[in-house]
Amino acid sequence: MIGSLGLEPPDAELQAEAAIVRSAAYLFAPLDKRAFGTAIGFVSAIGVFAATAIAAAVAPDNSPLRLLAAYFAGYSVSVAGAFIGAGWAFATGFVAGWFVAFVRNLVLATSLFILRRRVELADSRDFLDHI
């Protein structure tokens, strides 16, 4: 009956507030740079390997993937080039993923720092009025 009136017992309100706090903790948690870099590197390596293997099977001489040789030393549109390209793609993806996680963590930490300082300043703005 109480729930139908929109009134919740205090325990339910506390549980709801605790759930919100837990959700916010996940939202503002920093990314693990090494794990994010590894994930991006792995996906990049799989993508380059698959694209090179398919291109090597279909039309190795006419593939635009041969342009990757300008960036990845030893790369060619062949089976061996697929493994070399996968290694380079993993390294490049790892560095890019690590950097993205680093920048995201830095921006988030800076934003939270500024937000906390603003709240503290707003709370202490009228402290002389209470003396």
Give pLDDT tens digits for 24-33. Answer: 777 888 999 9
For residues 36-62, give the mean pLDDT. Answer: 95
pTM: 0.75
Cβ atoms of 33 and 108 within 8 Å: the answer is no
Cβ atoms of 62 and 79 within 8 Å: the answer is no
Q: Which helix (H) or strand (E) holds 124?
A: helix 79-124
Cβ atoms of 75 and 93 within 8 Å: the answer is no
Judge whether residue 1 has pLDDT over 50. no
More confidently predicted of 101 and 21: 101
As a whole number of angstroms, the distance between CA 29 and CA 3 comes to 34
% of the chain at pLDDT higher than 90: 63
